[in-house]
Amino acid sequence: QLSTNFYSKSCPNLFSTVKSTVQSAIKKEARMGASLLRLFFHDCFVNGCDGSLLLDDTSSFTGEKNAVPNRNSARGFDVVDNIKSAVENACPGVVSCADVLAIAARDSVTILGGPTWDVKLGRRDARTASQSAANNGIPPPTSNLNQLISRFNALGLSTRDLVALSGSHTIGQARCTSFRARIYNETNIDSSFAQTRQRNCPRATGSGDNNLAPLDIQTPTSFDNNYFKNLINRRGLLHSDQQLFNGGSTDSVVRGYSNNPSSFSSDFVTAMIKMGDISPLTGSSGEIRKNCRRVN
């Protein structure tokens, strides 16, 4: 089981080492904080937080990087490599890639103005990964509220955790292909917001698919509670975002977070710690990868 002091003897400078590398990556590009946070989510939702997402495909093995939710979308792997090599320099063979990702996700949130917390550590790295598990495990943006709730519940995360964790969409960007259907076909959307987004996301499939728009129209590089205010104004970018405020059971949670940033922060922290606890490899399971892209 995980503990916050897992590496305190074996790698005393771990936190400062990770933080300075994350800091310089975010200084270069603020969006990188969002990208690192998302990598942690996409790792934890597929066979637990075990670094499976970080493995490159090989001729004999198809990993998760090219699964539908990740292909042309998941990014920041080079930054993870930089963090890991700084950590390897300080404490060779000690710290798992799964734990590096957990710390980098926390640091990203904090650096962009969100809360901080103590990260539980002691995860080990998977020797395998599964593209089909990633396709099945990560909810698509076309999900409705019941689908989101049941996917999160299946991993031990509550409906409240779902809403709090979705607040991660207070930072970062999405591709036109992820929100085209919403801005052209849906009615629970602010019309001037839809028009604004249509300007850089053509209706025809295949044109402008990779054009980007901020998930939070107000403060895309600040970790705040504007995401929830947007939902109340029917300015959620993804179909799945607006599902959280669409006349259903989660409306009251969204209202609460939009009125009370500190309740969002504390529930977000609780939910991040719960997500980080999803089926870790511990003891002698798995390994401590030297290079996050391949098994030892």
Q: What minimum distance in Å lies between the beta carbon of 89 and ligand HEM? A: 27
How far apart, in whole angstroms, are the C-alpha atoms of residue 161 and residue 179?
A: 23
Closer to Ca ion by CB, 21 or 70: give it.
Answer: 70
Q: How many residues bind Ca ion (CB under 5 A)?
A: 11
Q: What minimum distance in Å lies between the beta carbon of 184 and ligand HEM? A: 16
Check whether 224 is labelled as a binding-site residue.
Answer: yes
* Binding stretches for ligand HEM (CB under 6 A): 31, 34-35, 37-38, 41, 73, 75, 139-141, 143, 148, 165-166, 168-169, 171-175, 178, 215, 238, 240
Closer to Ca ion by CB, 138 or 145: give it.
Answer: 138
Residue selected from 66, 110, 177, 219 as contacting Ca ion according to rule CB under 5 A: 219
Check whether 69 is labelled as a binding-site residue.
Answer: no
Residue selected from 226, 246, 250, 258 as contacting Ca ion according to rule CB under 5 A: 226
Residue selected from 23, 66, 222, 270 as contacting Ca ion according to rule CB under 5 A: 222
Binding mask 39-78 for Ca ion (x = CB under 5 A): ----x--xx--x-x--------------------------
Closer to ligand HEM by CB, 90 or 135: give it.
Answer: 135
DSSP string of the chain?
--BTTTTTTT-TTHHHHHHHHHHHHHHH-THHHHHHHHHHHHHHTTTSSSSGGGPPPBTTB--STTSTTTTTT---HHHHHHHHHHHHHHSTTTS-HHHHHHHHHHHHHHHTT----PPPB--BB-S---HHHHHHHSPPTT--HHHHHHHHHHTT--HHHHHHHHGGGGS-EEEHHHHHHHHHH-SSS-HHHHHHHHTTS-SSTTSSTT-EEESSSS-TTS-SSHHHHHHHTT--SSHHHHHTTSSSTTHHHHHHHHH-HHHHHHHHHHHHHHHHTSS-B-TTSSB--SBTTB--
Q: What minimum distance in Å lies between the beta carbon of 103 and ligand HEM? A: 15
Q: Is 239 considered catalytic here?
A: no
Catalytic residue among 31, 42, 229, 239: 42
What phi and psi values does residue 294 have, to the nearest 5 degrees? -145, 155
- Residues carrying an active site annotation: 42
Contact residues toward Ca ion (CB under 5 A) are: 43, 46-47, 50, 52, 170, 216, 219, 222, 224, 226
Annotated binding site for heme b: 169
Annotated binding site for substrate: 139
